[in-house]
Amino acid sequence: MNGTSAGSYPIDVWGLIITIVLVAVAAGLSYAMRLGVHRQMLWATIRSLIQLLAMGYILKFVIEQNNPWLVFALIAVMILAAVQITMSRAANIPRSVMPSVLLTLTASVILQVCVVTEMIVRPHPWYAPTVLATLSGMLLGNVVSAIAVAMSRFFSDMDARRYEIEMMLSLGATPFEAAKPSIISSVKLGMIPTISQLASSGIVLIPGMMAGQVIAGADPLTAAKYQFVVLAVISALTLMADSLIMILIYKTSFTALHQYRPSNER
Task: With H, G, I as helix, E, B as strand and everything else as coil, classify residue 23.
Answer: helix
pLDDT of residue 121: 82
Is the model's pLDDT at 24 over the cut of 60?
yes
What value does the mean pLDDT take over residues 190-208? Answer: 84
pLDDT digits (tens, 9 = 90+) for 127-162: 888 889 888 988 898 899 999 999 999 999 999 999
Please provide residue 215's backbone torsions phi and psi, each rounded to the nearest 5 degrees: -60, -35
What value does the mean pLDDT take over residues 198-226? Answer: 81
pLDDT of residue 264: 67
pLDDT of residue 1: 39
At residue 144's C-alpha, the angle toward residues 103 and 99, to 5°, is: 25
Is the model's pLDDT at 235 over the cut of 70?
yes
pLDDT digits (tens, 9 = 90+) for 162-177: 999 999 999 999 999 9
pLDDT digits (tens, 9 = 90+) for 42-61: 999 999 999 899 999 999 99
b/e per residue 131-167 (b: at least 16 CB within 10 A): bbbbbbbbbbebbbbbbbbbbbbbbbbbbebeeebee
Average pLDDT across the chain, whole number: 88
Q: What is the 8-class DSSP label of residue 205?
A: B
pLDDT of residue 8: 58
What value does the mean pLDDT take over residues 91-105? Answer: 91
d(CA 21, CA 6): 27
Give the percent of the chain with pLDDT over 70. 96
Specify the higher pLDDT residue, 242 or 258.
Answer: 242
Q: Residues 213, 229: contact at Cβ < 8 Å?
A: no
Q: What is the 8-class DSSP label of residue 254?
A: B
Q: How far from 91 is each of 79, 83, 154, 192, 208, CA to CA, in Å?
A: 20, 14, 10, 18, 29
Is the model's pLDDT at 181 over the cut of 70?
yes
pLDDT of residue 57: 93
d(CA 41, CA 54): 20
Give the percent of the chain with pLDDT over 90. 52
